[in-house]
């Protein structure tokens, strides 16, 4: 006779699910970042191999799908998720993700979740969790979407936002940026909802992309001459990464740094380069390696002392001077040839790599960020010599903090737009003179950048 899951003999909780639920709790309780907490936890607990891969998939996948999972849990539980105990909710999300978006069997997903509830919240809520997860398991994800999502005919954007686990306002931003194409919106949201591959950067002058690919077993990138795609494994275990010859950096970010280094100036390059918002140091490290080849020197400005220390570590032995200061008024001697403004932004272009970020941002964040972006860009132009170039970039496709900021700079500051597409080895770019990359088109984060030359 089949007995309820809670009556079966339960085994010790496996380390992968234990790690995943603890990271989910850290994200919920203290706004931690899953991509920072999980790798350290795996190292500290010596979780490797298949267990590490499972913990990674469950943590990041659940974090990406939280909005979708919460609506399903709320429907089944007949109460808002805010009324469910947090420790129980973490487990319900983890269990629902396994049921709907993995090949893990229903019995294993439910039984391990029941054990997790018991270990984290006591015996009281076990029956509730068991009942909720069993009911969720009676439908596939597709059937739950059909049951709960807005009608396609009446609200296509809302339906796609639900289906691909995005807040509606972000789907609307993507729709605006993509020109209202339903096919493009669906492709963008679908790509944003998938697990991305890891992109490595081979520091020029230290190691080539071909050499890095041979060491790692990865594939050389499509666009950046420094990029290698890595499908699996911990980058921290790769010897060139440990030795500082390579790093982890999205290919789109690599193209931003490269664009600044090759942008045509009026007059000679005296070798004074500036990274005005440099933390945590990825672009500064690539710029430093390129500067080392060209005989230039980079000044990297970062407001937060702990992030400035990360830049120092990332750029050790490179011609990079790290300054703790505010990019809006860095207190530097003007006259730089090249300036990078990789401005603080909503980060909507990197949601696939920061899985919980989509549920933290809200439209009210945008106006203050736009004001800051304009202040930083004005400061950058003030630091440039006449004929020098500033590259303004954000990891976002939001028109308000991308094209509209660049258009504002051309109207209000003494700069002229270069055709940024000429600085990027990508064929299918439209909408110049700026560049907007997309995960579904280019496999990169949705990076925006504009090259502006001082009059």
Give the residue numbers of the binding site: 277-283, 302, 326, 342
The DSSP H or E segment spanning 187 is helix 182-192
The structure tokens listed for 374 are 């304009």
- State how far the Cα of 388 lies from the Cα of 381, in Å rounded to an integer: 9
Helices (H) and strands (E) in the chain, counts: 19, 12
Ramachandran area for residue 413 (φ above 0: left; ψ -120 to 50: alpha; else beta): beta
Evaluate whether 399 touches 371 at the Cβ level (below 8 Å).
Answer: no
Alpha helix stretches (DSSP H) within 66-125: 66-77, 86-101, 106-121
**Active-site residue (options: 65, 238, 395, 451):** 395
Q: For residue 199, give the nearest of 396, 350, 83, 78 by alpha carbon.
A: 350
Q: Give how far the C-alpha of residue 163 lies from the chain's centroid of Cα atoms, to the nearest Å.
A: 20
- Pairing, β 219-220 against β 272-275: unpaired
In order, the DSSP letters of 374-393 are: HHHHHHHHHHEEEEEEEEEE
Give residue for tokens 């750029």.
315
Look at residue 195 and give its three-state secondary structure.
coil
Phi, psi (degrees; rounded to nearest 5) at 441: -100, -40
- State how far the Cα of 182 lies from the Cα of 401, in Å rounded to an integer: 23
395 is a catalytic site residue: yes
The structure tokens listed for 408 are 């504002």
HSE (side-chain half, CA atoms, 13 Å) at 248: 17
Give the burial class of 325: count Cβ atoms within 10 A of its Cβ; 0-12 exposed, 13-18 middle, 19 or more buried. middle
Q: For residue 10, give the nearest of 154, 100, 123 by alpha carbon.
A: 123
- State how far the Cα of 309 lies from the Cα of 211, in Å rounded to an integer: 29
Active-site residue set: 395
């Amino acid at each position: 006779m089949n007995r309820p899951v809670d009556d079966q003999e339960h085994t010790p909780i496996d380390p992968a699910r234990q790690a995943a639920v603890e990271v989910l709790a850290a994200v919920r309780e203290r706004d931690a970042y899953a991509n920072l907490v999980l790798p350290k936890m795996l190292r500290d607990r010596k979780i490797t191999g298949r267990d590490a891969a499972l913990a990674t998939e469950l943590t990041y996948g659940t974090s990406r799908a939280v909005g979708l999972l919460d609506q399903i849990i709320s429907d089944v539980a007949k109460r808002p998720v805010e009324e469910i105990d947090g420790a129980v909710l973490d487990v319900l999300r983890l269990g629902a993700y396994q049921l709907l978006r993995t090949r893990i069997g229903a019995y294993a997903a439910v039984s391990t979740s029941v054990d997790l509830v018991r270990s984290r919240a006591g015996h009281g809520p076990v029956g509730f969790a068991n009942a909720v997860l069993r009911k969720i398991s009676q439908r596939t994800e597709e059937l739950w979407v059909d049951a709960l999502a807005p009608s396609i005919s009446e609200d296509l954007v809302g339906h796609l936002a639900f289906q691909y686990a995005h807040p509606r306002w972000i789907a609307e931003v993507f729709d605006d940026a993509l020109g209202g194409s339903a096919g493009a919106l669906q492709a963008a949201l679908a790509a944003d909802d998938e697990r991305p591959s890891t992109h490595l950067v081979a520091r020029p002058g230290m190691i080539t992309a071909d050499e890095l690919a041979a060491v790692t077993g990865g594939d050389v990138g499509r666009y950046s001459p420094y990029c290698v795609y890595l499908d699996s494994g911990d980058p921290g275990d790769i010897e060139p990464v440990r030795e500082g010859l390579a790093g982890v950096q999205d290919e789109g970010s690599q193209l931003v740094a490269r664009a600044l280094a090759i942008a045509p100036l009026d007059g000679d390059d005296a070798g004074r380069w500036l990274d005005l918002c440099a933390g945590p140091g990825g672009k500064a490290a690539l710029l430093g390696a390129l500067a080392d080849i060209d005989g230039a020197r980079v000044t990297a400005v970062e407001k937060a002392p702990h992030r400035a220390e990360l830049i120092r570590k990332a750029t050790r032995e490179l011609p990079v001077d790290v300054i703790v200061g505010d990019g809006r008024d860095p207190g530097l001697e003007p006259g730089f040839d090249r300036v990078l403004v990789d401005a603080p932004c909503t980060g909507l272009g990197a949601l696939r790599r920061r899985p919980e970020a989509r549920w933290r941002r809200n439209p009210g964040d945008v106006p203050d960020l736009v004001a800051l972006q304009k202040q930083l860009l004005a400061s950058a132009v003030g630091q440039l010599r006449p004929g020098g170039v500033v590259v303004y970039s954000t990891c976002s496709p939001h028109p308000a903090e991308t094209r509209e900021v660049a258009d504002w700079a051309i109207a209000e500051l003494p700069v002229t737009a270069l055709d940024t597409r000429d600085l990027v080895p990508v064929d299918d770019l439209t909408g110049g003179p700026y560049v907007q990359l997309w995960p579904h088109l280019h496999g990169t984060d949705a990076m925006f950048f504009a090259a502006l030359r001082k009059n």
